[in-house]
Chains A and B, each alone.
Chain A
Amino acid sequence: MKKVKYRFYVDYEKEEQWVNEMAQNGWHFKKIMVFRYTLVKGEPGAYIYRNELLAGLALKNKNDYLEFLKESGIEVVNKFGGWAYFRKKAAEGPFEIYTDTSSKISYYNRILNLFTVLFLGNLIMGIFNLMVSDHASYRGTISSTAGIFGIATAILILIPNIKIYRRKNAIKEQQQIFEE
């Protein structure tokens, strides 16, 4: 049995939480297309799900890494838009991709680097489009729409960026006391 849900997550950790809640209720994540999640009926809580941003890794490293995960008993359920969705049987114990502070920090840094580039790119293009739309020689409506869209996208990227930055700082503080 299949079910389709439409969801929009700015924060990938919230998305992961939702996917796991659905799995607890017997609806297992199968596929994502933009905002469209396909879920399949299954044994409640049989799997634990994790997502990870793979964009920003070199292609060779990406394949190498995915191979490594598969060898550790992790299943790649779906890949979409630079993100990968993994799962592991709950019976095999807790499932986390990153378990210590330093690897968590370097993962957060990887996300922050990419998101910051996307944020600045959208912001600059947005402002540029708005400025161009001011010139009478241009057909204003198209570029002002593009400008507003670019700035809106930039703000949408900024929200998770700030959240991730805060999470990173919180675990960095811990690192001053604990060797993990």
Chain B
Amino acid sequence: MGQNNPPLTEGVYYILLSLYEPRHGYGIMQLTEELSNGRVRLGAGTIYGAIKTLIDRKWIVTFDEDGRKKEYIITGLGKSIIQSEIKRLHELYENGLQITKGEKS
């Protein structure tokens, strides 16, 4: 599954990772900032649009709607997408290190 998926955007990558536990939009925003040490800051409009698309693709689902805030969680399909993305990133990382080894900029 997902062998030939195009690369995920950083935003989608971090949104999917955030949703290994149920979270609402603001929770996604905070965790992403924390995980990336403040480098990746996702705008609310960007997260909102991404969530809609990810639900359509069945990579995430709404988790619980009884409260006022909507929470979301990753699906099995979403997890397999993340797995193949990690593999791809690993390949990029390994090849990068192997070729530039010892070089300093």
Residues of A contacting B25 with CB < 8 Å? 68, 71-72
Interface CB pairs A-B, < 8 A, 7: A68-B70, A72-B29, A93-B41, A97-B43, A99-B43, A102-B9, A103-B46
User: Does B49 reach chain A (CB closer than 8 Å)?
Assistant: yes
**Min CB–CB distance A106 → chain B (angstroms):** 7
Residues of A contacting B50 with CB < 8 Å? 103
By secondary structure, the A interface counts as loop
Residue of B44, B47, B48, B69 with most partner-chain A CB within 10 A: B44
Which residue from chain B places its CB closest to the CB of A179 in the assembled complex? B7
User: Does A94 reach chain B (CB closer than 8 Å)?
Assistant: yes
Residues of B contacting A179 with CB < 8 Å? 7, 9-10
Q: How many B residues have CB within 8 A of the partner chain?
A: 20
Given contacts A98-B45, A107-B45, 17 further A-B contacts (CB under 8 A): A52-B45, A69-B45, A72-B25, A74-B44, A94-B41, A96-B41, A99-B41, A99-B43, A99-B46, A100-B11, A100-B42, A102-B9, A103-B45, A106-B49, A179-B9, A179-B10, A180-B10
Chain B positions 31-63 with a Cβ under 8 Å from a chain A Cβ: 41-50
Tell me, in angstroms, the Cα distance from A71 to B70 when the chains sit together. Answer: 9
Residues of B contacting A93 with CB < 8 Å? 41
Contact-residue bracket for chain A: 20 to 34
User: Does A73 reach chain B (CB closer than 8 Å)?
Assistant: yes
Of the residues A65, A71, A103, contact of B43 by C-beta under 8 Å: A103
User: Does B26 reach chain A (CB closer than 8 Å)?
Assistant: yes
Q: Would A98 and B43 be within 8 Å (CB), given that A103-B49, A179-B10 are in contact?
A: yes
User: Does B79 reach chain A (CB closer than 8 Å)?
Assistant: no
Which residue from chain A places its CB closest to the CB of B11 in the assembled complex? A100
Residues of B contacting A106 with CB < 8 Å? 49
Chain A positions 38-84 with a Cβ under 8 Å from a chain B Cβ: 52, 65, 68-69, 71-74
A96 and B9 form a contact (CB under 8 A): no
**Min CB–CB distance A75 → chain B (angstroms):** 12
Residues of A contacting B44 with CB < 8 Å? 68-69, 72, 74, 97
**Min CB–CB distance A38 → chain B (angstroms):** 25
B9 and A98 form a contact (CB under 8 A): no
Of the residues B10, B26, B49, contact of A72 by C-beta under 8 Å: B26
Tell me, in angstroms, the Cα distance from A173 to B7 when the chains sit together. Answer: 18
**Min CB–CB distance B5 → chain A (angstroms):** 13
Residues of B contacting A73 with CB < 8 Å? 26
Residue of B29, B42, B48, B70 with most partner-chain A CB within 10 A: B48
B45 and A71 form a contact (CB under 8 A): no
**Min CB–CB distance B50 → chain A (angstroms):** 7
